[in-house]
Amino acid sequence: MHVERTFTVSRSVEDVFDYLSNFENTNQWDPGTIRTERTAGDGGLGTTYANRSRFAGRETDLTYETIGFDRPTFFCARGMNKTATATDSMTFTRDGDRTQIHYRADFQFHGPVRFVAPLVVKPKLAALADETVEQIRRSLEPGTS
């Protein structure tokens, strides 16, 4: 299952890419993130992060790895634990002095959770995606809402 959104912010494509591809910044723009810390790498391909997130009232730890990095147009990170794989992909397009962001989050569930996830998780994903867009906007465009 997945969610995706396309929206525009009033920042340069380079600034937007640099901010969102530094996955430690999920602390600021991802409403479900409790904390993210870089564990290895220089920020490019293969960089890993320890992430603790909250979703549907539960906390979970994921290990993320940067699997796509093409500055300033594309970033992708995959997070895994024993029950889920989450892949966040972002494409950035210059729109004058603004940037269009196409954000997609894919979720795969493993083990017994995969049977209940469509019933429990799927209904909450649209709201989470909308909240994420608003939080990214607030982070990149302070003072506007």
**Beta strands 58-70 and 74-80, pairing class:** antiparallel
pLDDT in tens, 52-86: 999 778 899 999 999 999 999 999 999 999 988 99
Domains of the chain with CATH codes? 2-140 (3.30.530.20)
For residues 104 and 91, what is the distance between their CA atoms, to the nearest angstrom?
9
The CA-CA-CA angle for residues 144, 135, 52, to 5°, reads 155
pLDDT string in tens for the chain (145-residue length): 899 999 999 999 999 999 999 999 999 999 999 999 999 999 999 999 999 999 778 899 999 999 999 999 999 999 999 988 999 999 999 999 999 999 999 999 888 777 676 666 677 888 889 999 999 999 999 876 5
Residue 118 phi, psi dihedral angles, 5° rounding: -60, -30
Please provide the DSSP assignment of the chain as one string: -EEEEEEEESS-HHHHHHHHHSGGGHHHH-TTEEEEEEEESSSSTT-EEEEEEEETTEEEEEEEEEEEEETTTEEEEEEE-SSEEEEEEEEEEEETTEEEEEEEEEEEE-TTHHHHHHHHTHHHHHHHHHHHHHHHHHHHSTT--
Q: Both tokens of residue 46?
A: 């293969």
Q: What is the pTM of this model?
A: 0.90
